[in-house]
A = this chain, B = another copy of it.
Amino acid sequence: MVLSQHQQRRRVQFYETDLAGIVHFSWYFRYMEEAEHALWRAAGLSVAPRGSDIGWARVSAACDFHRPLRFEDEFDVTIRVAVVTHKTIQYACDMTRGDTKIAAGTMTVICVRVRPGEPMEAIDIPREIATRLQPIVDADERRG
């Protein structure tokens, strides 16, 4: 299946909170990654199939935090494929709870070959992956 985005609901776990009583900011990056991998599964793919020598290294990650999350809060994580180049994929991610904007982030990954004892080497994204993860086209762009 060709996919451009994926949404999933998530509940805050106790161990994700810190002494301030809210989710520790490092968890938002894991929430984004969970959604990324769920998007791949929904597209019939895995970021790490057993025995594969292809991996995905993070190039960058960023997140703006708008409202805190607390224990047992349910929230939605929506991830979109924003840009695909020969070797990289950029995702954009929104976290919301009802109408409340919780956080918004981006992540860029690069396709790498991973061989035991060798440094990672950037490679072109395999065709069977590139054809299934298509960047979102904005309505404005489509009209243009």
Contact = CB atoms under 8 A, between A and B. Distances in A.
A86 interface: no
Contacts of A48: 14, 19-20, 71-72
**Count of chain copies:** 4
Interface string A85-105: 000000000000000000000
Interface in A1-52: 13-15, 17-22, 24-27, 29-30, 33-34, 37, 41, 46-48, 50-51
Interface of A: 13-15, 17-22, 24-27, 29-30, 33-34, 37, 41, 46-48, 50-51, 55, 57-65, 68, 70-72, 114, 116-117, 120
B25 A29 contact: yes
